[in-house]
Structure 1
Amino acid sequence: MESICSYLILYTNHILNALKQLDAVSDNGMLTLFVIDELNHVIGSLTDGDCRRALISGAALNDSIETVMHKDFTYITDNNYSSNLIRYIREKGFKLVPYLNDDGSIRNIIDFSNGKSYLPIDAVLMAGGKGERLRPLTLETPKPLLKVADKPIIDYNIDNLIHCGIDNINVTVNYLAEQIEEHFSTEKNGVKIKCIREGEKFLGTIGGVQYIKDWHNDVVLLMNSDLFTNINLEDFYLHFLKNDADMSVAAMPYNVSIPYGILDIENKRNIIGIKEKPSYYYYANAGIYLFKRSLLDLIPRDTFYDATDFLNDLIAKQYKVIRFPISGYWIDIGKPADFQKVQEIAGHFKK
């Protein structure tokens, strides 16, 4: 999205000026402006439809836009963000929504077109592992940089984060760290990706988070960088908010079907029943977590500590830990067969 200034118009302008400005941004399919005062406070919204209806009703091109703008407009602030607000924005089909500071001044304009979103969370991608099960592919290349359909694995996840308006993204690195640091030495779609070195020893899937000092939001998204998934991060976050959870674990439905009749045995020998070809349903940990940032204080320092250790500790301490079922696809690229499978899937998408 181009500079937000393109979508701001001073309240002293006339309808003709607004139409010219709307025409200038129409190539992006965005036909909304936000009216500001001299202090950059947003005081209204204005669409091309508002201008047309005003002219049809007898307004003149040199009339002030104050006479046709909407003073009751939808906006986002730090204090009003909620699942209900995002749902309302989706239902109304708003493409652009202003993000305001507490005093009403403009901070940003959020693009909700084409499934885009805005999630006020910090993201951490774990990219420090050696990828030993994929050797020899990972002998000289870190697994997150292995290419799937000519694109590094990690970039699929980075693109998904940016698509959801997440712009504070950290990547924890260790093995062949300099290659990942070089990969993110330039911005990705206008977002600077920060690489955080774990130090000399490996600290598990979450231990390296202790080296991150620059936090911006109260909720953290933690995920493996080598996943191939289309998880809906907006749904994931809104589900987390709705349930007032301390931690949410993304989970993939996993079905086990047994093609035989299974005996139900009591006292190691007595058959008390039989189940014909039963199916059992489980949820597999997808390696994607949302949790309150305040919980980071519970992670031990300079100790090998996995995200599953964190999960178990939170449960033991009776924090509210919930499950979020993934409805799309999810593949953990651990073995050569997994790597081949995602190549086939990505190749199908490109056709």
Structure 2
Amino acid sequence: MQAVILAAGEGRRVRPLTKNRPKAMIPVANRPIIEYVIDALIKNGIRDIIVVVGYRKELVTRYLNTLDIPVEVVVQNKQLGTGHALLAAEPKIQDNFIVLPGDNYIDPASIARIRDHSNAMLVKEHPSPSNFGVVMLSNSHVTQIIEKPAHAPSFLVSTGIYSLTKKNFSHIRENNLTDAVSSLIASGVKIQGIPADDWQDAIYPWDLLKMNRRFLQNIPPTHDGSISRHASIHGAVQIGKGTTIGPNTVINGPVVIGNDCRIGPNCCIQPNTSIGSRVTIEPFTIVGDAIVMDDTTIGSHSRVIDTILGERCKLADHLSISTITGIHDIEGSPTRSEFGAVLGDSVTSGPFTILKNTLVGNNAIIEGNSSLSSRQVQDNSLVI
């Protein structure tokens, strides 16, 4: 069986994190999301994998070239929807295949449930069904898919994962796959709705923190760096090569830390934290329930909770980030949120900065002694 992974889209609702990378390449637990999708396929013996790339395609292609298995890359030159992306892969399809989004998590057991069906889709109950295609079933077969309804008649949604056949391409047009499947159903083709065991999508940037918690649950502990004998490590903690953990630093897993980082002394890394490579965390700083990407520096005497920090951020001392509830305008829609902060790449902040429920765009500069609560700072802004 073949698999087609759709990784051509940007993921605009996850900005500012997708300004410089497609959503499928956002690192969660220090691995790009698409890697978990590929792993689920390999664990099911599916090694004939096609990846459709488009937005920032060079980043995805470069990553795929580092894998141990060969992956065929197809380019969608214009991002005209998931149906159009799948059509780009049509010449490579031989018979039955699975199509999956490259920016969602799916577990191997769910792939096993659908791989032997020729016309099927994985479905899952979700507390916010209006963000997805809501699925109506009758006798385990799909009767209707209602795309992002304002008032959802069901909590059952499409995961965007389908098992299809080569002849299904006659129903696929330059639009989304939901329309293609609806066309199949209207033509009399029976599409079986198969419950997924474990699936998660990150609709908004703060949803990545929940995904990070999930991925960290089963990490094996490895300590490849240099750890002070006066540091304290508890639980499942991964520490990469070249990383130094200073004296009196406490790390409570699950935590993953990349290569060549400098943590402490006198720091506290709390559970559910992913720290990339070449990250510096200065003394007397607490980081917890967070994603910190490569080459970022966090100054001393800081508190960073419930937060995502992009690459190459430079954050001065006495930074305080804490969680409150707020409303953000995401793609023209008021959206309730609860998190600390999400910072894009290359953000700079001065000392004594306070952030609560704040989105900060790429290359933004926040001067010292600033306090931002339930705010959205655009790319390249100066906050004084």
Please report the TM-score for the alignment, with normalisation by the length of structure 2: 0.48
* Partner of residue 32, structure 2: 152
Supply the distance in 2 between the matched residues of 1:177 and 1:197 (Cα, whole angstroms): 8
Supply the distance in 1 between the matched residues of 2:83 and 2:48 (Cα, whole angstroms): 17
Do the aligned partners of 2:50 and 2:71 also contact (CA within 8 Å) in 1?
Answer: yes
* Partner of residue 213, structure 2: 344
Matched, 1:178 2:58: yes
Instruction: List gaps (5 residues or longer) in structure 2.
Output: 129-152, 220-235, 237-384
Do the aligned partners of 1:122 and 1:215 also contact (CA within 8 Å) in 2?
Answer: no
> Which one of 163, 166, 179 corresponds to residue 309 of structure 1?
179
Do the aligned partners of 2:25 and 2:34 also contact (CA within 8 Å) in 1?
Answer: yes
Supply the distance in 2 between the matched residues of 1:203 and 1:128 (Cα, whole angstroms): 10
* Partner of residue 122, structure 2: 250
Do the aligned partners of 1:126 and 1:206 also contact (CA within 8 Å) in 2?
Answer: no
> Which one of 28, 36, 45 corresponds to residue 165 of structure 1?
45
Do the aligned partners of 1:168 and 1:216 also contact (CA within 8 Å) in 2?
Answer: no
Paired residue secondary structure (1:158): helix
* Partner of residue 192, structure 2: 322
Matched, 1:333 2:210: no
Supply the distance in 2 between the matched residues of 1:167 and 1:210 (Cα, whole angstroms): 20
> Which one of 156, 175, 196 corresponds to residue 283 of structure 1?
156
* Partner of residue 83, structure 2: 206
Paired residue secondary structure (2:61): helix
Aligned residue pairs total 195
* Partner of residue 143, structure 1: 23
Aligned residue type for 2:98: L
Indicate how the Cα distance of structure 1 residues 331 and 255 shifts in structure 2: closer, same or farther if over 3 A, else same.
closer
Paired residue secondary structure (2:20): coil
Deviations 1:286-323 (A, max 9, x none): 111001122113323xx3x1110111110111111110
* Partner of residue 195, structure 1: 73
Please report the TM-score for the alignment, with normalisation by the length of structure 1: 0.52
Shift >4 Å, 4+ stretches: none
Aligned residue type for 2:201: D
Supply the distance in 2 between the matched residues of 1:213 and 1:126 (Cα, whole angstroms): 13
Supply the distance in 1 between the matched residues of 2:20 and 2:154 (Cα, whole angstroms): 39
Do the aligned partners of 2:40 and 2:106 also contact (CA within 8 Å) in 1?
Answer: no
Instruction: Compute the displacement of 1:213 (Å).
Output: 5.3
Counterparts of residues 19-34 of structure 1 (less than 5 Å): none
Kindly indicate which of the two structures has a greater share of residues assigned to helix.
1
Which one has a bigger Cα radius of gyration?
1
Supply the distance in 1 between the matched residues of 2:90 and 2:205 (Cα, whole angstroms): 36
Kindly indicate which of the two structures has a greater share of residues assigned to strand.
2
Q: Identity rate of aligned residues, in percent?
A: 27
Larger RCO (CA within 8 A; separation ≥ 6): 1
Instruction: List gaps (5 residues or longer) in structure 1.
Output: 1-120, 257-279
